[in-house]
Amino acid sequence: MTTHRRADVSAAAMLDDLRTLVEVESPSRDLDALSASAKTVAAFVERRLGGRAALVESEAGPHVHWSGGGDPRVLVLGHHDTVFPLGTLERRPFRVEDGRATGPGVFDMLGGLVQAVHGLAALDDLSGVEILVTADEEVGSGSSRALIEERARACGAVLVFEGAAEGGGLKTGRKGCGSFQVSVTGRASHAGLEPAAGVNALIEAARQVLDIAALSRPEAGTTVTPTVASAGTQDNVVPAQATVVVDVRVESAAEKDRIEAAFAALTPHLDGAEIDVSGGVGRPPMPGTASVGLFELARRLRPGIEGKAVGGGSDGNFTAALGVPTLDGLGAVGGGAHADHEYLLVDAMEERARLVTELVREIRGGGTAQTRVR
């Protein structure tokens, strides 16, 4: 069992720690920045909770893992990478004004990490608690998924500290999400002298975009959205190459299978064109059944709290797909994820941290049935 000095929840102390984390920039895939960020997160966890936070090295940067000892019962899950490039902090420094904290990553999801750790610090006993803070959530969790799944299975319940849903609600379901890239190969020729001698990859890509967009089924919760396209080299050359990137969101495993099969079956419209498809639905859907027991517990502790299904994915998708009870959106109350107006509501910080304290205490005491999701 990890011994520590119990501390009362304090918004001022949380803001001090939040500033420390925000001011160490941590863009995904920047290994030097992520290494510095992981060390800062580990030091923060050790300072507030005692014990030792281990750095788990990976090709995507270090993940941070901490355990309070004893039989694992609950996994506190988060990430320290952000979507903002180095230099964002200079343009948009950490500030607290008019009841809002702003700065890169305050809502997604450094504020949630701070609230989680301070909520845990208010417990007398930290046995059975684990914390995992990954370095690659914003880019698909390729290097951390196996570790996330391992610790989720071991603990049997997962609390995810992504930002809250609109209005402060918890996230009780998430769509599965993924990305596909469709690469088109044609044949170059002179656009003025002999355009017919070429195979226009841009035209083929445009035809494919229409076919791809038609795969959406909004009535089933499926969205298929072409988002990025590129083609061509010069204005007088028939383009020989084109690419289209597509964002996909699905609510069910059946729709995941349908979409992946449809992309695999794409065929060219133009004679001589070739198509190559890569990618897939990397995060499985998080069904509402995964959160039922934990959400009922949260609502017993906070009778007015709401639960919402959302379109974005998180690492909670992976744990829910295993059948491990998972509750998401326990982090900061605010908004503007991935945007320059990202913010956290300071007045909500203490209450959300206390919810962490009470949830973990109840889970360890058997306050909710941790039944596997089928």
Same domain, 63 and 128: yes
Instruction: Give domain status of residue 215, yes or no.
Output: yes
Whole-model pTM? 0.90
Instruction: Tell me the pLDDT of the chain averaged across its residues.
Output: 95
Whole-angstrom Cα distance, residue 41 to residue 66? 11
Instruction: Give domain status of residue 369, yes or no.
Output: no
H runs (alpha helix) in 245-348: 253-264, 292-301, 316-321
Same domain, 110 and 244: no
Q: Which residue, 244, 266, 283, sits at the end of a domain? A: 283
The three-state secondary structure class of 14 is helix
Whole-angstrom Cα distance, residue 269 to residue 206? 10
Q: What is the CATH number of the domain that holds 276?
A: 3.30.70.360
Residue type present at position 41: V
Same domain, 194 and 128: no
pLDDT in tens, 290-348: 999 999 999 999 999 999 999 889 999 999 999 999 999 999 999 999 999 999 999 99
Same domain, 235 and 322: no
Indicate the number of domains in the chain. 2
Instruction: Give domain status of residue 21, yes or no.
Output: yes
Same domain, 110 and 120: yes
H runs (alpha helix) in 214-312: 253-264, 292-301
Q: What is the CATH number of the domain that holds 93?
A: 3.40.630.10
The three-state secondary structure class of 106 is helix
Q: Which residue, 283, 305, 325, sits at the end of a domain? A: 283
Instruction: Give domain status of residue 3, yes or no.
Output: no
Give pLDDT, residue 367.
Answer: 56
pLDDT in tens, 36-46: 999 999 999 99
Q: What is the residue range of 181's domain?
A: 176-283
pLDDT in tens, 105-161: 999 999 999 999 999 999 999 999 999 999 999 999 999 999 999 999 999 999 999
Same domain, 324 and 342: yes
Instruction: Give domain status of residue 2, yes or no.
Output: no
